[in-house]
Structure 1
Amino acid sequence: MAKEIYVSSIGSDKNVGTKVQPFLSFERALLETKKFAGKEPVHVWFLEGDYYLNKTITIGIESSGSLKNPVLFSALPGSKVNIKGSKELKNLKWNAYKNGIYVASVPSGLTFDQVFINGERKVRARFPDYDYENPLRGGNGYQQVIGGTNHRYDKWLSFDSKTFTNKDWKNPETGIVHAFQSHNWGNMQYRVKEVNRTENKLYLGEGGWQLQRDHGIGGSGESASWFFVDNIFEELDTPGEWFLDTKAKLLYYYPQNIQEFKNAKVEVPILKDFIQLIGTKESPVKNISFKGLNFTQSRYTYMDKYEPVARGDWAIHRGGAIFMEGAENCVVEDCNFEYVGGNGVFMSSYNRNNQVKSCRFVHTGESAVCFVGSPSAVRFYQTWDDKEIYGKNWNEMRKNMDLTSGPKTPDYPENCIVENSVMHDIGDVGKQVAGVYISMSHKIVASHNTIYNCPRAGICINDGTWGGHIIEYNDIWETVRETGEHGPFNAWGRERQWSGSRGTDADFMKELTKLDAIDPVIVRNNKIANYRKSISAGNWTIDLDDGSSNYEIYHNLNLGSTIKLRDGMLRKVFNNITVSAVPLGWHVWPKASEDEIYKNIFVISGAIPGNAEPTNSYIRQVGLPTDTKWSTHYDDNLYWNVNAPKNEYIVDKVTFKQWQEKGFDEKSKVADPLFVDPKNGNYQVQANSPALKLGFKNFPMDEFGHEMTRIKPFGGDFSGETKVEVIADKRGGKEADIYFTLDGSEPSIHSQKYKGAINIKNSTLLKAQTFDKNGISIGFVNEANFTKVNEVVYPSWLSTLLTGKYEGQEGKTNKKALEMELEGALLINIADDPDLIDATGGYNYGCYIKSIDPEKGKIWITAQLPADWVIQQVNGNKIQNIAALKKQFEINKGKTIIVTAARDYNFKKFEVKIP
């Protein structure tokens, strides 16, 4: 028995809070809750309706429950409850302005950055206009800069006067520039300071804090930053756009059709966070749950405070629709986060045993779920901004460094879970985002989540403090859609053991590895897929970048790309499957790394996107030790090259036999693994597979992703007809039923009842939902779009695998990175080699020195400029490619030049005497 409190959108705060006389507001229900919290169980029931919050709900320890007497805020089962961070603008008087635009007065002092009309979010006036067909970076809704300062904090960007708007901006200072960083690791926002059409420049005001690293807006050609500008009145020129004149208190809107104004419901966000649970580690908020609530319509946060997070590349805003700091045993369940302007759920600093489960995150402005500890808990804390923005010397900062193991304080999330949730189409505004983001945390579990349609990572572990995480049974695809040099699962580990990025003894101090990475991170039983061309370099399925250490990676299905291990220690990679045209990325491991690679199936198939030439080797190694064996347990793997079964090159120009003579894969085999049914997603191997004889063990192929209502396959193209299976939400039990629709309408118990596989013959939007024996809906409506085509076109890797022979990419021409020898140095145009860009520190211009001939290359040897560096300047002049370097050699023939070269995050000058 629990104390029950009822809330209704048509109730009154003067009522007593019963079902017959419910309260009206969340605030009044919370006030009543405090009378009973911790003394007896409390259930606060929200009846169906919209609940507008006037201010953020702050819940402190006075509302805490206990294990015996928990507190629950829940939608009444079967009721649709919307908690809104917006205000409805009633009785607006729309008057015709001009050119199809209407205008209405709004209340004084009201500011907002979004407008929802009849529940649909409209576009703020912008240039270029929003591209509804392709709203992503690279679509018609963006332009590329001609140049820029390319250093945070940017002062200006230059635009192409031929394609830039010709409209006169009378108040440009209202505008916000949304621009991708030149290296394309994320985007930033700046206020417009001034437009100079004589110089073709936008001068920039405050902003640029939304990510780390010094790279800003700039670049040239294909690598130039993409941008758009919004909140400009003169750009209100397209149906569906709006603009708020805050000084005149006027809202302008260009309706898509005049019918929109008939009974139009206009809502504007006024809050950023809906609910904050605020306690301390000494007195935490405890045992509070939220269930079945839909959180929607909150303000953007991109112009608020962000902070650089350790030495990962990211910066974050500590805020979320539900924000927890100093919380224990709190649960967010069956909640929907849709059109929230910032993060979904954010656990900051001290948090213990909290759960996010069976939730849905869609159209969030930033990330879905974040676990971020406090820098005060880290014994040695550095950021990239320390070095690159504020000019601090990292090595100087390391003097007298605390060498005690583990965290310094308990101000971090620990033993928290995000499970059985769906995260898709996130990062509407911020592009350096993730479905699940983990930093300065310990023992976080991310399990059975489905994550897709993300601009950057599906799951990102920002740093190696303090490990112990379990990443399992997730289904991740269509990520890293608008950024590059990243992975659907991405990790960094730039803690006390890491001072550089080459894996040398000077860069990586192995004895310090477990000071921060105290427990292994387990990555297991995940399906991670890439079915399309990478936006730029990288996009490895599992990307362990700089310093990531103490990992166990097993039972993962990697499709369309593969695993990368950069400098790090103690990584065990075993019993995984990779099928891809992308070779394994083994980059700059330390000597005696203690990395182990065994009992895996590595299949090469097709061509790397953009190339017409098939991949012919299994491993792309860069900067590995040459004087030592870099792994003592590298064996029992099965290799197969579908492109050329008789081709036994493991590494470029190294045969399988030569590879074994080096001490690797001595018991491994080259043979067809004999997958059961790859066309339908079953990559288990048959009973007579040679992989089984090597010790490989099959793992389940039907347990990836969420376990709510599922549709298999999850949409896509088909020809002829296709059969679709729908699986009920596990929580419904044996008596649950599934109801579905094929016309785009919402399913109910009056819709078609699912009795078996659905045969689809035409393009169809299928929606399905599980209902319990009482007809109460469970979880969310799942939907999948099936498109009928004459012929299904698969990516090269998949078509090659299915046909069993190399299938090229129609219309593609092979663009190999140019290699050329110059005075005994074999050089590569690094801009043409995405893997090399990723392996050397993200440099997208210059000449990579692949090797130096000991006889011909004396000028380089004398200058002490070794291989594995990237030449970027000669006498201060930028070197874009080999042609530019040759030109400088011709100009300075017989002279001594100053060559500036980069390797990872270090720059060095060399005196080179040109003969």
Structure 2
Amino acid sequence: MNKKNSVITLITVLLFQSFSMAKEIYVSTHGDDKNKGTKASPYLSFEKALKDVKKYAGKEAVTVWFETGVYYLSQTIQLSSAYSGTAKHPVVFSALPNAKVSIKGSKKIEGLKWSAYKNGIYQTQLPQGLSVDQLFINNKRQIRARFPNYDYDNPLRDGKGYAHVKGGSNLRLDTWLGYDANAFSNKEWANPETGIVHAFQSHNWGNMQYRVKSIDRKAQKIHLGEGGFQMQRDYGIGGTGKHSSAYFVENIFEELDVAGEWFFNNNTNTLYYYPFKGEDLASARIEIPILKDLIQIKGNKDAPVKNIHIKGFTFTQSRYTFMNKYEPVARGDWAIHRGGAIYLEGTENCIITDCNFEYLGGNAVFMSAYNRDNKVVRSRFVHTGESAICFVGSPSAVRNYLTWDDVDLDGKNWIEMSENMDLKPGPKTPDYPKNCVAENNIIHDIGTIGKQTAGVFIAMSHKITAAHNTIYNCPRAGICINDGTWGGHIIEHNDIWETVRETGEHGPFNSWGRERQWKTRPGKIGNFDTKLTRLDAIDNTIIRNNRIANYRKSISAGNWTIDLDDGSSYFEIYNNLSLGSSIKLRDGMARKVFNNITVSAVPSGWHAWPKDSEDEIYKNIFVIAGTVPGKKAPTRNFIRTVKLPDDQEWSKNYNHNSYWNVNYPVNFDLAETFDITLWKAQGYDVDSYIGNPHFVDPLNGNYQVKEDSPVLKQGFKNFPMDKFGHEMTRILPFGADFEASKTVTLKGDVEAGHKAEIFYTTDGSEPTLKSIPYTAPFTVTKTTTVKAITFTDEGLASGFTAEATFTKVDQVTYPSWLSTLLAGKFEGEIEQERGALQKDVYGATMINIGEDPDLIDANGGYNYGCYIKLIKKRGRMWTNAGLSKGWVIQKVNGVDVPGVRELYKIVNTSKGKTLNVTAVKNYESKVFHVQVK
């Protein structure tokens, strides 16, 4: 029996045992806490049922059944070790079969008296003591009054709902941002201090929130108060033009000017709301979140909470957390709030299954510190304020725990902090998640507030499995491993697309590994001590059998499908299908990349490997096709190398790969300055194949190669193309544009049993047992929304309703890489690739770094200035000043220099003068005194 089936069997057996032989307690919205808690005489509240659970927990199996209804929690449900079950007798909290049960962290407000205020706005008095950060009307979260107004058509960073700053302090913690008076609100803010700024960091690695301190209309500045702790790194709000931070300001009364907006005056206890046309406030359901965490399961390593099962609920309407305490997470780039709708700490063998998490203010499921053998399975996560599933250990478990905030905010020195550091391998304490699983989940449209978030986030953990998850529509990562402590993770059979939608320099899968081997900021000589890499990454991490797609450019640099960033070491990457982008390896040890397929216009990114990295690249299929979005010239090369060792071979096993450049079948380059002959002369791909790999059916997603494909002789082995993502009810394809007709296939929930049936609709309605039974693939000929769900032979709905829209269009438009692949050639005029501007400036070859995404990524996010590629002998004025290859010149005499042309102009008019040149490298800034000859 494989691991996946054993997990499913364990859950099924345990739930069957608990349901068939349990002490049963019933809860109903029609019950009464004075009742007996039986099916005929149910309790009313979750809290009352807990008192009974405590009597039987650990002694016999206990099941608390919830009937259909909405259950409002007045306080967070606390489950301590006193509620623990055993493996044989678990404690189960479950919705009754087919029951629709919502657990809400909000308060329903009744008896409100609304009256007209002015300009279409209505007002009412709320009960005393309410703190209002969200307003739900008829289960829809409304928009707090803001500038600019919310863009319902495109709520993302590139929509009309964001403005752009005009300068800023650009240093966490920020003190101000500048705004463009011509584009700013013309309304006078009587109380600007109620406002909250939501702003992206200048490098687009995430966003931050600040309270407004004041506004200076004359100086065109918003002064900032508390905030900025929601992410790490020293870059803050700032920049100019297209590189400036996007932002909006909410909770300003005067900005309440369109339907759907609201404002709460805390001083007068008055709620203001601008209703939509025809909206009846007298009969509307009004709800205000009051709880941050809905359920906390908390014990400790000595007395853990064990064998708690939570099944079949919808968890919704929790409070925002973005102004609560955040903490920097090791030396990954992220900070995080330790909280979630379900929060687990000090637990073992707890299972969350078949639950729906939506419209939450923060994280959905958070496992903090000590957790063992827990599982989150068959659940759905949508519209969460932050991340979906988080596994985050305690800093106390990490030997020599360091963060970016130590340096950037506290002025400490990592090298000094690492003197006489503990050199024992592995964790220091057991306070971290281990052997936990996130499997068979649907995660989409998360990160509505926090943009530095993930579908699955792993930090300071060991042997975490993320398998068969479908993850899409995320502002940043689908799956992120924050650090190299302690490896052993398995990332497999996931289906990830449309991520990194609002940020950049990241990947759908992203990792860092800045542990004890990482001495100081990247790029410094002797920074990376290869002998220490196994102290923390004690087990290899495996990434296999995933489909990761990127159908569009990111907002800034990067967006690799698999992005192994600074220090990521000891990874095995195989049997992955990368579409629309490629793999990046940077600054790590012993990565084995084999038997993968990449089809993209984006070359692979091999950046800054240490000498003797032990990296291996073999038996892969690399296909280049089309153009990178935003460019006209088709891609010529397969690899973009940046800062690799130039005095030795950088891989001892780089061979038996297969290459096909559809754009240039003959006249292509392997790397920027290496054709295939020179490439082989360097010792790479001596036995590799050049030519068409002959995919079976790429239009319909089958990238296996045909039986007579020459790549099979290279040792490549086909892997399944139908095992990606969740295994509940699926619609294939997952929506599509079509011209004449489209064939639709439905797949049933694998756990519903062999006698299960799928029922579907084509009119957008919810499928029932009276809907159309699925017997074979069917064809749609007009724009159609298909919904489907699997029913067991007992008539019980299994999993969640699948939904996909098929849109009829005059002509289907494919991404450039796919249209080129399908045509077998680049269709269009092949233009000369201009690339980033490169120019000789008095003996130094310099590049506009802002026009080169790979250079931005490889140099830590610097997105403007002049990158020094090479200094020739006649460029002594630069070397005499101390400048060398790799520095990025950003200022001269205190004035920003955006690019090479501007720098050349300044130098050319400064003969005989000394220029104070500010340059950056490896996250450090330095002033050089350049004597212009």
Give 1:575's match in structure 2, choosing from 590, 595, 607: 595
- Measured after TM superposition, the shift of residue 595 of structure 1 is 0.2
Which residues of 2 match residues 601-640 of structure 1 at below 5 A? Answer: 601-640=621-660
- Separation (CA, whole Å) in 2 of partners of 1:504 and 1:101: 59
Contact 2:381 2:443 in 1 (8 A): yes
The correspondence for 1:890, drawn from 896, 899, 908, is 908
Distance 1:195 1:897, change over 3 A: closer
The answer as to 2:749 corresponding to 1:729 is: yes
Distance 2:849 2:606 in 1: 18
In structure 2, the partner of 1:673 is 693
**Aligned AA (1:914):** V
Structure-2 separation of matches of 1:908 and 1:757: 65
Partner of 1:479: 499
What is the letter of the counterpart of residue 851 of structure 2?
D
Equivalent residue number for residue 919 of structure 2: 901
User: Residue in 2 aligned with 1:153?
Assistant: 173
| Aligned partner (choices 478, 491, 494) of residue 514 of structure 2 | 494
Alignment of 1:287-366 (within 5 A): 287-366=307-386
Give ranges in structure 1 of 5+ residues lacking alignment: none
CA distance in 2, matches of 1:685, 1:539: 26
In structure 2, the partner of 1:822 is 841
Structure 1 counterpart of 2:850: 831
Is 1:367 the counterpart of 2:392? The answer is no
Residue 707 of structure 1 is matched in structure 2 by: 727
Tell me the equivalent position of 2:124.
104
- Contact (CA 8 Å) 2:397, 2:432: kept in 1 or not? yes
- For the residue of structure 2 that corresponds to 1:586, the secondary structure is strand
For residues 204 and 502 of structure 1, do their structure 2 counterparts lie closer, same or farther at Cα, with a shift above 3 Å needed?
Answer: closer
1:3-22 CA distance string (max 9 Å, x none): 00000011011111000000
Shift in CA distance, 582/270, structure 1 to aligned 2, threshold 3 Å: same
AA in 1 matched with 2:596: N
Partner of 1:913: 931
> Tell me, what secondary structure is at the counterpart of 1:850?
strand
Residues 167-206 of structure 1: CA deviation (Å, up to 9, x unaligned) = 1111111111111111111011111111211111111111
1:515 paired to 2:532: no
The answer to whether the 8 Å contact 1:848/1:869 transfers is yes
Deviation, structure 1 residue 891 = 4.2
SS in 2 for 1:802: helix
Mapped contact 1:796–1:809 kept (Cα < 8 A): no
Contact persistence 1:470–1:523 (CA under 8 A):
yes
Describe the SS at the equivalent of 1:367.
coil
Task: Tell me the amino acid that sits aligned with residue 851 of structure 1.
Answer: L
Shift of 1:547: 0.5
- Tell me the distance in 1 between the aligned counterparts of 2:130 and 2:914: 65
Paired letter, 2:722: D
**Identity value in percent:** 63
The answer on whether the counterparts of 1:274 and 1:321 sit within 8 Å (CA) in structure 2 is yes
Write the deviation string for residues 82-126 of structure 1: whole angstroms up to 9, x where unpaired.
Answer: 000011111211111111111111101111211111111111111
Match of 2:267 among 232, 243, 247: 247
| Equivalent of 1:841 in 860, 872, 885 | 860
Offset, 1:741: 1.5
**Structure 2-normalised TM-score?**
0.96
Question: Are the equivalent residues in 2 in contact too, given 1:872–1:900 (CA < 8 A)?
Answer: yes
One-letter identity of the residue aligned with 2:234: D
- 2:788 is paired with a residue of what secondary structure? strand
Query: 1: CA distance between counterparts of 2:177 and 2:228?
Result: 13
CA distance in 2 between partners of 1:653 and 1:590 (Å):
21
Note the residue ranges of structure 2 that are not aligned, 5 or more in a row: 1-20
* In structure 2, distance between residues paired with 1:257 and 1:876: 54
CA contact (8 A) 1:503 1:568 kept: no
Q: Deviations over 1:358-392 (max 9, x none)?
A: 00000000000000000000001111111111111
Secondary structure of the corresponding residue to residue 654 of structure 1: coil
What is the alpha-carbon distance in structure 1 between the residues aligned to residue 280 and residue 565 of structure 2?
50
Contact kept in structure 1, 2:523 and 2:922, CA below 8 Å: no
Cα drift, residue 620 of structure 1:
0.2
Q: 1:740: how far off?
A: 1.2
Measure how far apart 1:890 and its partner are: 3.0
TM superposition shift of 1:685: 0.3
Q: Which moved more, 1:800-809 or 1:349-358?
A: 800-809
1:168 is aligned to: 188
Residue 795 of structure 2: aligned partner:
775
- Written as runs of structure 1 = structure 2, the 5 A alignment for 1:222-241 is 222-241=242-261
For residue 872 of structure 1, the aligned residue among 883, 886, 890 is: 890
**Which amino acid letter does the alignment assign opposite residue 858 of structure 2?**
A
- Tell me which residue corresponds to 2:13: none
Q: Corresponding residue for 1:851?
A: 870
Amino acid in the other structure paired with 2:348: E
State the Cα distance separating 1:877 from its structure 2 match.
Answer: 3.4
Using the TM superposition, give the Cα deviation of residue 865 of structure 1 relative to its aligned residue in structure 2, in angstroms.
2.4
How many angstroms does 1:514 deviate by?
0.3
Range with bigger deviation, 630-639 or 865-874? 865-874
The separation in 1 between residues aligned to 2:808 and 2:832, in whole angstroms, is: 29
> Conserved in 2, the CA contact under 8 Å of 1:584 and 1:619?
yes
Kept in 1: contact 2:504–2:554 (CA 8 A)? yes
SS of the residue aligned with 1:261? Answer: coil
The alpha carbon displacement at 1:872 in A equals 2.1
Q: Note the C-alpha offset of 1:851.
A: 1.9
After superposing the two structures, state which structure 1 stretch, 750-759 or 650-659, moved more.
Answer: 750-759
Most deviating of 249-258 and 566-575: 249-258
Deviation of 1:868 after TM superposition, in Å, equals 2.2
Write the letter of the residue equivalent to 1:292: G
Q: Secondary structure at the match of 2:407?
A: helix
- 1:576-634 C-alpha deviation (Å, 9 max, x unpaired): 00000000100010000000000000000001110000000000000100111110000
SS of aligned partner of 1:147: coil
1:695 corresponds in structure 2 to 715
Q: What CA distance in whole angstroms lies between the structure 1 residues aligned with 2:551 and 2:285?
A: 40
Q: Does 1:416 align with 2:429?
A: no
CA spacing shift, 1:815–1:742, aligned 2, 3 Å: farther
Alpha carbons 2:524, 2:922 under 8 Å: kept: no
DSSP-derived class of the 2:384 partner: coil
1:713-736: CA deviations, max 9, x gaps?
001211111011110000111111
Cα distance in 2 between the residues matched to 1:613 and 1:425: 33
Contact kept? 1:826, 1:850, Cα under 8 Å: yes
Match for residue 123 of structure 1? Answer: 143
Match of 1:444 in 2: 464
Residue 665 to residue 815, structure 1, CA distance change in 2 (3 Å):
closer
How far residue 856 of structure 1 moved from its aligned partner, in angstroms, is 2.7
The answer to whether 1:398 aligns with 2:418 is yes
Question: Letter of the aligned partner of 1:825 in structure 2?
Answer: A
Amino acid at match of 2:236: G
Residue 258 (structure 2) pairs with residue 256 (structure 1): no
How has the CA–CA distance of structure 1 residues 364 and 727 changed in structure 2, closer, same or farther, with 3 Å as cutoff?
same
- SS of aligned partner of 1:258: coil
Most deviating of 398-407 and 419-428: 398-407
> Counterpart amino acid of 1:897?
L
Q: 1:190 to 1:809 in 2, by over 3 A?
A: farther
- Cα shift at 1:752: 1.5
Partners of 1:657 and 1:832 in 2: CA distance: 30
| TM-score after normalising by structure 1 | 0.98
1:517 corresponds to which letter in structure 2? A
CA distance in 1, matches of 2:548, 2:111: 50
* Residue type at the aligned position of 1:894: G
Number of corresponding residues: 913
Q: CA deviation at 1:813?
A: 11
Task: Specify the code of the residue in structure 1 equivalent to 2:174.
Answer: D
User: Partners in 2 of 1:389 and 1:476 — Cα distance?
Assistant: 35
Residues 414 and 520 of structure 2 are in contact (CA less than 8 Å); yes or no, is this contact kept in structure 1?
Answer: no
SS in 1 for 2:532: helix
Separation (CA, whole Å) in 1 of partners of 2:827 and 2:251: 47
Conserved? CA contact 2:626–2:816, under 8 Å: yes
Change (3 A) 1:115 1:807: farther
Residue in structure 1 matched with residue 7 of structure 2 by the alignment: none
Give the RMSD, CA atoms, in angstroms.
Answer: 1.4
